[in-house]
Structure 1
Amino acid sequence: MSHSLGGGGDLPAVFPDWSPYHDLDSAARAYLRDPDVALESLGGVLRGADVLCFTLERFVNEVNGVWQEVVVCDGNRLILWHGEDVPLGEGPPGSMTSSLRVVPLSTVTEVGCRRQLTRTPSGQAQVGSVDVYLLLSTMDEAAPGGGALEDGERPPVRHDALRFGKTIDDGGAGQIARLEEFARVIASLVGRPTL
């Protein structure tokens, strides 16, 4: 069953599958609501560099509307584009934010990938979900709990991390496989001289 965002321009919460598309342009155009905005932002940074791997995410938040993300690796950098609808009342109807973040691949200190496996009736293992994290050498700017702790204690220092996930219900087997492929490519580059 697909959920929709209320209002005149209802958007389904189940989107087309981007996993069959191995080039960024086709995948973005198949999956994102605002592919031109995303591709223009990413293209300004990529400037013709080869895309080694990418992953896409999109969902509908009942408060803010559509949330979209593209993460691209060119061998030297992770380039993250994020687009999100502005909540009603905080801007004209149809307003959204578009942001870009560039993370040098040299700042990725650890790559983790956790797979949840289930068994079919015949006993074969099947991937039901995958969670990927990229631990960065930079520090997380958000202090847990909103600031200082009692008795003068300092909040714990945490490294920044990028997290991605796909499930059978949210993305399907194709997107799970593509996220695993993304994690393997990033893991193969971490700790090696950059291209």
Structure 2
Amino acid sequence: MSRPAFGGGDLPAVFPDWSPYRDLPAAARAYLRDPEVALDELSAVLDGASVLGFTLERFVNEVNGVWQEVAVCDGSRLVLWHGEDVPPDEGPAGSMTSSLRVVPTSTITEVGCRRRLTRTPAGTMRVDSVDVYLLLSSIDETVPADDTPLPPRHDALRFGKTLDDGGAGQIGRLEEFARLVASVVGRPVL
């Protein structure tokens, strides 16, 4: 099974599993379409800092093509890379955006993890999805399309995995990432 890719060709509907890889470069090369772009951007900011944990996401959007994200925690920062294909009417074929965001862990005010559990026919419980949010102290500056004023709300980072989108290994790795971030939130930075 495959989905049409932006600019022609087919991309697999199910991407390779990155969860067995504990090393960020190996996981990125196994999973992302543009791993070298992501790794170059991330390494320039990490500048030798230890990668304590990470999570990866990738999906195909039928309008814009491939959307990719890497979130890395080095203990005092979250370093986020996002790559996305440019829609055909906004640039030449094969164009993409590459963006980087650095969020100090001191600005994370809350970490939440919601697991959906199902009971198998044998009666055991299984996690079939996980949603993680990181609430930030910064204010979300999104403006609605109709320019209606919205009450201020905090910015948030959201990550999710399901059995269909990532599988049990990626669900486990996302839960591990959430626990890591939760363990460093509120601790003094040395």
* TM-score of the superposed pair, with normalisation by structure 2: 0.96
Distance in 1 between the 2:79 and 2:156 partners?
A: 14
What is the deviation of 1:145? 5.8
In the other structure, the counterpart of 2:52 is 52
Match of 1:14, as an amino acid?
A: V
Match of 1:107, as an amino acid?
A: T
Paired residues of 1:4 and 1:13 also in contact (CA < 8 A): no
In the other structure, the counterpart of 1:62 is 62
Is it true that 1:4 corresponds to 2:41 in the alignment?
A: no
Distance in 2 between the 1:5 and 1:173 partners?
A: 26
In the other structure, the counterpart of 2:172 is 177
In the other structure, the counterpart of 1:98 is 98
In the other structure, the counterpart of 2:42 is 42
Instruction: Give per-residue Cα distances to partners, 1:83-133, cap 9 Å, x unaligned.
Output: 000001211110000000000110000000000000011111000000000
What is the deviation of 1:165? 0.2
Distance in 2 between the 1:148 and 1:63 partners?
A: 26
List structure 1 segments (4+ residues) > 2 angstroms apart after TM superposition: 1-9, 143-149
Could you say what secondary structure the match of 1:89 adopts? helix
> How many corresponding residue pairs?
190
Could you say what secondary structure the match of 1:121 adopts? coil
Is it true that 1:193 corresponds to 2:188 in the alignment?
A: yes
Distance in 1 between the 2:73 and 2:146 partners?
A: 32
RMSD, aligned CA = 1.3
What is the deviation of 1:146? 4.4
Is it true that 1:166 corresponds to 2:161 in the alignment?
A: yes
What is the deviation of 1:14? 1.2
Match of 2:85, as an amino acid?
A: D
Match of 1:174, as an amino acid?
A: G
* TM-score of the superposed pair, with normalisation by structure 1: 0.93
Structure 1 residues not aligned, in runs of 5+: 150-154
Which is richer in strand? Answer: 2
In the other structure, the counterpart of 1:81 is 81
User: Identity percentage over the alignment?
Assistant: 76
Distance in 1 between the 2:62 and 2:124 partners?
A: 37
In the other structure, the counterpart of 2:114 is 114
Match of 1:42, as an amino acid?
A: L
Distance in 2 between the 1:113 and 1:6 partners?
A: 33
In the other structure, the counterpart of 1:33 is 33
Distance in 1 between the 2:143 and 2:153 partners?
A: 8
Paired residues of 2:63 and 2:87 also in contact (CA < 8 A): yes
CA 1:106–1:125: 2 relative to 1, 3 Å: same
Distance in 1 between the 2:109 and 2:6 partners?
A: 42
Distance in 2 between the 1:40 and 1:7 partners?
A: 24
Distance in 1 between the 2:148 and 2:49 partners?
A: 43
